[in-house]
Amino acid sequence: MSDNVFPVPAEVASRALADNAKYLEMYRKSVDDPAGFWGEHGKRIDWIKPFSKVKNTSYDPHNVSIKWFEDGTLNVSANCIDRHLETRGDQPAIIWEGDDPADHKVITYKDLHREVCTFANVLLAHGVKKGDRVTIYLPMIPEAAYAMLACARIGAVHSIVFGGFSPDSLAQRIADCKSTCLITADEGLRGGRTVPLKLNADRAAEKAPVDTMIVVKRTGGAVAMTGGRDVWYHEEAAKVSAENTPAEMSAEDPLFILYTSGSTGSPKGVLHTSGGYLVYASMTHQYVFDYHEGDIYWCTADVGWVTGHSYIVYGPLANGATTLMFEGIPTYPNAGRFWDVVDKHKVNIFYTAPTAIRSLMGAGDEHVTRTSRESLRLLGSVGEPINPEAWMWYYNVVGDKRCPIVDTWWQTETGGILITPLPGATPLKPGSATRPFFGVQPAVVDAEGNILDGATEGNLVILDSWPGQMRTVYGDHDRFVQTYFSTYKGMYFTGDGCRRDADGYYWITGRVDDVINVSGHRMGTAEVESALVAHPKVSEAAVVGYPHDIKGQGIYAYVTLMAGEEPSEALRKELVAHVRKEIGPIASPDLIQFAPGLPKTRSGKIMRRILRKIAEDSFENLGDTSTLADPAVVDDLIENRQNRA
């Protein structure tokens, strides 16, 4: 790994919210006296009734309970909108850039207020009440943000499902949290192609019925509307008032559910609540991106992922920022789109994922260098480890060696960024997420849970709670405790491996469980396996990740067919199509190997370690295979491996 160090440039330090001395001082206070520290910073948002209690958290596996600011009341939407009206009503809140470069729209805080109040009133008119779950399956259009904030305004709990998920995946998520209302659009538009959202929503609703489906008109494409259930958003909006009084919510009332993949079972409904989440999202947004009044900030994520929740909508809007929302893809109409948009809207802070950087890096520097990018001041990375080559390209070519890169490590579960440089405080090392944010106490443990000191490598845990932490798995608190607090007693287990160097910098090495990270999207190998075995010709499947130049990890599936079925190219295509249909395009296997047998122990456990090695094309050192029931299967697997250098 690279141990190049990039010191903090003097001009970055001079304007920054925190230099190194301030970081160290604030960090010390945050861990020595969490209640004092967060009691002070909790005031950064507006409370209807101020909190008197700050922290009430327990990681004891017999009684995991996480509460922050528990006796305070607030409204998240009022914090993101109403409180800014007086000072910045005419300032852009959202700049929306459409898929078509000719399409953009500026939404001021006043506009946002009107739109969100209207949406809230439409929800109320359709019987959505405080505490009800609303599933949102929308493309990256302003209505996605309006719908989220409208739910927050009336106290409904949103559950966003990424538009790339299949009808089955959508149905599973609607059913799990018992949503009665689904918000979708006629079609999405990405890279010039339409996505049949309403059609998918109809198919999902066959399996998981909803009372109301609210349909936003995006493309005007023909869709079927079911009488008594489906309504057009624009027609309903015309019937209601544009004023709405925000509901008074308790700090620990749920704000949203977001499904994410784990190593086993179906996706988990990660539950975040209102007060602590907003304090943490807004504070990290301000400090990590060194956000200053008037900055134009752009996070390229989709609101279907947690990054879109915390760093397109809630964090930036709570801070009164201008947040850019992009409907399209990085390569349409060409691989210079990101930089054209940066120039068009004079973006100062730009936050994207390593997979996008790697794919643009492959498209050639001229797409970047033909643009000015002089407005850029800071770059960010999230979603997976960034390899030093991609980091250097991002730094040298995109940022013209002027812009610090914040490599931010966090998870759906953490609500906000936990390990990251602060631009004015932290010398950078390409590939390292560097140091913990305020209030975050990371530790590295060995397999037995012993905390390791100094420069070391092991599994990453967090020793105490921070305000943005998830509170439970929706409807399954036992699963929450099992998944995160049972591996290492009294600690939050992240599922990631990491190294800590002699400077105390953290280097995340990737997942140590059966979760893979494909283009920054989390995928449980078990989910892909269960989709594969649902195909009538498949008897068994084992899925592992393998290194992929662009995606970070690719999906490698070993498939054993039913007796009498013959492997063929056609069947391979059929299986890929089948997984896309069952889960969505993001789960498409990159490589499928037909395997007459899988390496199993005598007790029938698949030895994934061996499958991972073969998928990596590094099978010289397979380790001990003597416990295998039939060691000969390994030779066949090696012989027919699909990923050859």
The two three-digit tokens of residue 541, written as one number: 């499947």
- The answer to whether 370 is a known ligand-binding residue is no
* Residue 382 binding ligand 6R9, by CB under 6 A: yes
Q: Going by DSSP bridges, is the β-strand pair 133-137/181-185 parallel, antiparallel, or unpaired?
A: parallel
* Residue 304 binding ligand 6R9, by CB under 6 A: no
**Phi/psi at 459 (nearest 5 deg)?**
-100, 145
Considering only the stretches 304-312, 523-531, 534-542, 568-576, report the one whose residues sit in contact with ligand 6R9 under the rule CB under 6 A: 304-312
User: Which DSSP state fits 430?
Assistant: T
- The answer to whether 383 is a known ligand-binding residue is yes
Q: How far apart are CA 599 and CA 619, in angstroms?
A: 14
Q: Smaller CB distance to ligand 6R9: residue 422 or 637?
A: 422
Q: By beta-carbon distance, which residue lies closest to ligand 6R9?
A: 412
Considering only the stretches 40-48, 323-331, 410-418, 539-547, report the one whose residues sit in contact with ligand 6R9 under the rule CB under 6 A: 410-418
User: Is the Cβ–Cβ distance between 404 and 12 less than 8 Å?
Assistant: yes
Considering only the stretches 470-478, 509-517, 543-551, 559-567, report the one whose residues sit in contact with ligand 6R9 under the rule CB under 6 A: 509-517
Q: What is the Cα gyration radius of the chain?
A: 24
- The answer to whether 391 is a known ligand-binding residue is no
Q: Which of 108, 250, 300, 307 binds ligand 6R9 (CB under 6 A)?
A: 307
Task: Give the C-alpha distances (Å, rounded to integers) separating 418 from 75, 177, 592.
Answer: 25, 27, 36
* Residue 202 binding ligand 6R9, by CB under 6 A: no
Q: Which of 132, 187, 290, 496 binds ligand 6R9 (CB under 6 A)?
A: 496
- The answer to whether 410 is a known ligand-binding residue is yes
- The answer to whether 195 is a known ligand-binding residue is no
Q: Which of 385, 415, 436, 589 binds ligand 6R9 (CB under 6 A)?
A: 385
Considering only the stretches 198-206, 377-385, 523-531, 636-644, report the one whose residues sit in contact with ligand 6R9 under the rule CB under 6 A: 377-385
Q: Indicate the SS3 state at residue 157.
A: strand
Q: Which of 407, 513, 514, 527 binds ligand 6R9 (CB under 6 A)?
A: 407
Q: How far apart are CA 551 and CA 643, in angstroms?
A: 15
- Nearest Cα to 529, choosing from 517, 519, 539, 518? 539
Q: How far apart are CA 280 and CA 469, in angstroms?
A: 9
Q: Smaller CB distance to ligand 6R9: residue 233 or 393?
A: 393
Outline where 398-501 has alpha helix (H). 477-485
Q: How far is the CB of 414 from ligand 6R9 (least distance, A)?
A: 8
3-state helix, strand, coil in the chain (%, to 5): 35, 25, 40
Q: How far apart are CA 475 and CA 515, in angstroms?
A: 22
Q: Which of 37, 96, 395, 409 binds ligand 6R9 (CB under 6 A)?
A: 409
Considering only the stretches 149-157, 504-512, 607-615, 625-633, report the one whose residues sit in contact with ligand 6R9 under the rule CB under 6 A: 504-512
Q: How far apart are CA 80 and CA 337, in angstroms?
A: 29
- The answer to whether 15 is a known ligand-binding residue is no
Say which residue the tokens 């420069």 belong to. 455
Q: Which of 387, 412, 469, 593 binds ligand 6R9 (CB under 6 A)?
A: 412
Q: How far is the CB of 411 from ligand 6R9 (least distance, A)?
A: 4
* Residue 263 binding ligand 6R9, by CB under 6 A: no
- The answer to whether 511 is a known ligand-binding residue is yes
Task: Give the C-alpha distances (Å, rounded to integers) separating 225 from 258, 528, 595.
Answer: 27, 32, 46
User: Which residue type, as a one-letter code, is found at position 102?
Assistant: A
The two three-digit tokens of residue 419, written as one number: 């390990």
* Residue 410 binding ligand 6R9, by CB under 6 A: yes
Number of other CB atoms surrounding residue 241 within 10 Å? 10
Residue 50 bridge partners (DSSP): none
The two three-digit tokens of residue 432, written as one number: 């390292």
Interface map 24-43 toward ligand 6R9 (x if CB under 6 A): --------------------
Q: Which of 247, 357, 433, 586 binds ligand 6R9 (CB under 6 A)?
A: 433
User: Which DSSP state fits 44?
Assistant: G
- The answer to whether 191 is a known ligand-binding residue is yes
- The answer to whether 61 is a known ligand-binding residue is no
- Nearest Cα to 470, choosing from 317, 269, 179, 263? 269
Q: Smaller CB distance to ligand 6R9: residue 212 or 408?
A: 408
Q: How far apart are CA 503 and CA 427, in angstroms?
A: 11
- The answer to whether 411 is a known ligand-binding residue is yes
Residue 361 CB partners (closer than 8 Å, separation 6+): 389, 390, 393, 397
- Nearest Cα to 538, choosing from 567, 513, 514? 567
- The answer to whether 307 is a known ligand-binding residue is yes
The two three-digit tokens of residue 361, written as one number: 């890096």
User: Is the Cβ–Cβ distance between 110 and 94 less than 8 Å?
Assistant: no
**Phi/psi at 234 (nearest 5 deg)?**
-65, -30
Residue 615 bridge partners (DSSP): none
* Residue 327 binding ligand 6R9, by CB under 6 A: no
Segment 559 to 618, residues that bind ligand 6R9, using CB under 6 A? none
Q: How far apart are CA 345 and CA 363, in angstroms?
A: 23
Segment 141 to 160, residues that bind ligand 6R9, using CB under 6 A? none
Q: Smaller CB distance to ligand 6R9: residue 265 or 510?
A: 510
Segment 232 to 261, residues that bind ligand 6R9, using CB under 6 A? 260
Q: Smaller CB distance to ligand 6R9: residue 1 or 35?
A: 1
* Residue 306 binding ligand 6R9, by CB under 6 A: yes
Q: Smaller CB distance to ligand 6R9: residue 407 or 514?
A: 407
Going through 285-366 in order, the beta strands assigned E by DSSP cover: 296-299, 322-326, 349-352
Residue 187 CB partners (closer than 8 Å, separation 6+): 139, 194, 195, 196, 197, 198, 218, 219, 221, 223
Q: Which of 41, 67, 377, 511 binds ligand 6R9 (CB under 6 A)?
A: 511
Considering only the stretches 280-288, 364-372, 406-414, 599-607, report the one whose residues sit in contact with ligand 6R9 under the rule CB under 6 A: 406-414
Residues binding ligand 6R9: what is the number (CB under 6 A)?
A: 24
Interface map 521-560 toward ligand 6R9 (x if CB under 6 A): -x--------------------------------------
The annotation places the binding site at 190-193, 307, 383-385, 407-412, 496, 511, 519, 522, 533, 535, 538, 580
* Contacts to ligand 6R9 by CB under 6 A: 260, 305-307, 381-385, 407-412, 433, 494-496, 508, 510-511, 517, 522
The annotation places the binding site for Mg(2+) at 533, 535, 538
The annotation places the binding site for CoA at 190-193, 307, 519, 580
